[in-house]
Amino acid sequence: MHRIHILIAMDSHTLAQGARAVKDALLKDLSLAGLSDEVKVVETGSLGIYKKGVVLVVFPDNIYYTGVTVENVAEIVSEHIVKGRIVEKLKYSKAPGTEVKVQEKAPRFGKQLRVVLRNAGIIDPESIEEYIAHNGYEALGVALTEKKPNDILEQVKASDLQGRGGAFFPTGVKWGFAAREKAEQKYIICNADEGEPGTFKDRLILEGDPHAIIEGMALAGYAVGASKGFIYIRGEYHMSIARINRSIEQARENGLLGEKIFDTDFSFDIEVREGAGAYICGEETALIESIEGKRGEPRDKPPFPPSEGLWGKPTIVNNVETLANIPQIILNGPEWLQKLGTEASPGTKVFTLVGNINNPGLIEVPMGITLREIIYDIGEGIPQGNGFLLAQLGGTTGGILTAEQLDLPLDTDNLRKIGAGLGSGALLVVDDTHNVVEVVKNFVEFFNHESCGKCTLCREGTGRLYELLDKLVSGQGVLKDVDLIERLAKTMMTGAFCGLGQAAPVPILGCLKYFRQEFEKMVNTEQKSVSAVV
Amino acid sequence: MQDLKKVDDIAKKYAEMNTPLIYILKDVQKEFGYLSQPILTQVAQVTDIPLSEIYGVATFYSLFTTKPKGKHIVRCCNNAPCFVNGSKEVLEKIKEYLGIDTGETTEDALFTLEFTSCLGLCAVAPVMMVDDEVYGNLTPEKAVAILKDYKMKGSSNA
């Protein structure tokens, strides 16, 4: 029996700050002190503390240490573990997890409310036993042994869960389209091709609670009559790929994937497919093309994937976060989800808070929270006392919010009214030390790089927009260029083939709407008179 | 001369998989370093997929390359979350240190410098990847120190 458990967050963020070396040093020092039998070091997912270096939690004391390096591991072992004296200089006082001990219901971290992330940083993601101990696979068991596929479908419909990939299409409705198709083979695809700049929620869900995705997919398969699932993950997400592969193996070993699950007639298995580096593959039909071994270019719609998707068969494509909600809805009932969030947008939303912010990271909050609460309460404000310039919500294709919208409750209806959306959940905060035109140029540089090239408007439009913005930034622009940027952006929005080209103009037009004078200030004054003549 | 028979072995490995082209190309690139025309021609023969289609796939995805690259691939993110945290300065310093622009390889063939799109590590922005390793909270100085480490290891192995 272990006297002490040390949880070490092993997610991509802490690994980038040296977590692996710290864990190795910890194991070595514990063994040197003869404590290997008394102290267990457990790798876990993100603990919800970011940019503070390597993070450890010592249980049962519930002490969080941040900024742990190989050099001060020895001190933690000799002082805290051996002598029971807390190493104050490394202790993190604002630990979100201090209330996490009660795990029966969604734990609250201040203004946060954790449903999708309920297990992240609490369980060892590499252990199926720990997931099961936290009600894991209970929803699947109940569904398969006590309910009909249609019951599951109706529950998801009744919950009004909306797709968390960014489009917020009702998940139950989408499932319904595939369920009514008559086909021998149907597919469930988990879209884990997370590529929207500033977004890493799917990555941390996959790294922190991979079994929830597997369970959600199996439930989806049962509801619509699919026996095969695919998880399409970005090739760059090495850790997510390793964890999900291991979890699939564990689920098979435990009879939770494969033939006749829970001794019923339902069979379901999952295969992981890695991407090869293309932002556009997050678009569901481009993703399907990519699994089919082709260039990831979007397809013409209709037919939509629920009627004709992967290899021509009915296919559901759901985002990671959407699927992570499913087991909870089945366990707690659809009304439970609706009690969280707002009427227009039930449930919670996982945001990634990034940019110029003191406390960046992954947060899960009820719908309807305001920007001010997110930035100034949860995010602890903007560094160096700088002012707030703008926020971009939903990734690089997201809408622009300014100081005017700081107190607007964030839900789909309110955002639609101002031409924005929650999108992927990335919330980029930009402080007032930045020039807005340079920021827009940076957005467009991304689109220019990631346009797949299939349609002319997006391929040529992103390139031309980049040239125009570069011209302005380098002091060569004329007043007419600002109008041209606006016209081109509007044309792309109406005429581009897929979501990428249609959404790329959103932040450009948003910035023009609120900061047009900043664009005009960049115009070369010597050439202003020339442009007036032209 | 490259042993093109290895392409056949790799293709065989994926015989059970539906539409495995991307996986085959990944493994082939791992084996040969890059996807040259003779290699792609061989892939076309083994898989019975038209060479034009294979070339289309090989040039579409950013993790594939049809040109030889350096021993270490340095991928810098310059998307908005990294940008507002100073990635431009980091990138400029790396370019200066390596003496190359993005998309180029150093003369000693040790480093290739590339852009990458968001790696989902924005809470520790700015970030870069060197091969499979990720590095966060970069400053221009820290980035150069990391690359110096790789350089030292590179020359000691040689």
Last residue of a domain, which of A404, A431, A458?
A431
Closest listed residue to residue A18, CA positions, set A72, A61, A60: A72
- The answer to whether A130 and A123 are in contact (CB under 8 A) is yes
Whether residue A289 is found in the same domain as residue A160: yes
Which stretches of A275-376 are assigned E, i.e. beta strand? 315-319, 348-355, 361-366
**Cβ–Cβ below 8 Å for A51 and B124:** yes
Q: Tell me if A481 is assigned to some domain.
A: yes
Domain ranges of chain B: 5-60, 72-157
Expressed as residue numbers, the domain containing A484 is: 436-533
**Same domain? A30 vs A63:** yes
**pLDDT for position B149:** 94
Out of A415, A431, A447, pick the residue that ends a domain: A431
Nearest-by-Cβ selection for B120 from A194, A279, A356:
A194
Considering the domain boundaries, does residue A12 fall inside one? Answer: yes
Residues A39 and A184 in one domain: no
- Chain A's closest residue to B115, CA to CA, is A449
- Spell out the alpha helix ranges (H) of A432-476: 436-450, 456-473
Residue A368 resides in a domain: yes
Instruction: Tell me which amino acid residue A153 is.
Output: L
Asked if the Cβ–Cβ distance from A16 to B136 is below 8 Å, we say yes
Domain co-membership, A295 together with A189: yes
Instruction: For chain A, give percent helix, strand, coil, nearest 5.
Output: 45, 15, 35
Sole residue written with tokens 């564990």: A250
Positions of chain A with pLDDT under 50:
96-108, 529, 531-534
- Same-domain status, A156 and A288: yes
The contact set of B with A (CB < 8 A) is 18-23, 25-26, 49, 53, 56-57, 60-64, 78-81, 83-85, 115-125, 127, 129, 132, 134-137
**A16 close contact with B: CB closer than 8 A:** yes
Model ipTM value: 0.93
Residues A143 and A279 in one domain: yes
Residue A289 domain flag: yes
A427 and A440 share one domain: no
- Give the domain CATH number at A363: 3.10.20.600
pLDDT of amino acid A339 = 83
In terms of domains, do A458 and A423 share one?
A: no
In a domain, A228, yes or no: yes
- Tokens 């997929």, residue located: B49
In a domain? residue A75: yes
CATH number of the domain where residue A137 is located: 3.40.50.11540
Tell me the per-residue pLDDT of A101-150, one tens digit each, with 9 for 90 and over. 323 333 335 667 777 778 877 788 989 999 999 999 999 999 999 999 99
Provide the edge-to-edge strand list for the sheet that holds A315-319. Answer: A269-274, A228-233, A187-192, A315-319
Residues A140 and A270 in one domain: yes
Q: Domain tally for chain A? A: 4
What CATH code is carried by the domain that includes residue A452?
1.20.1440.230
Q: Is residue A231 part of a domain?
A: yes
A311 and A354 inside one domain: no
Residue A44 counted as domain residue:
yes
Instruction: Check whether residue A203 and residue A157 sit in a common domain.
Output: yes
pLDDT of residue A110: 63
Domain range B72-157, its CATH number among 3.40.50.170, 3.40.30.10, 1.10.3720.10, 3.40.50.360: 3.40.30.10
- Mark yes or no for CB contact A236/B137 under 8 Å: no
State the pLDDT at residue A345.
Answer: 74
List Cβ neighbours of A506 (8 Å cut-off, separation of 6 or more): A397, A398, A399, A419, A420, A493
Q: Name every chain A residue with its beta carbon within 8 A of the beta carbon of B146.
A: none
Question: Where among A410, A431, A452 does a domain terminate?
Answer: A431
Q: Mark the ranges of chain B whose per-residue pLDDT is less than 70.
A: 1-2, 155-158
Query: Do A178 and A325 sit in the same domain of this protein?
Result: yes
**Which residue matches tokens 């890493």?**
A200
Query: What pLDDT score does A349 carry?
Result: 82
Residues 254-313, chain A: which have Cβ within 8 Å of B?
Answer: 273-279, 290-296, 311
C-alpha A137/C-alpha A213 separation (Å) is 11
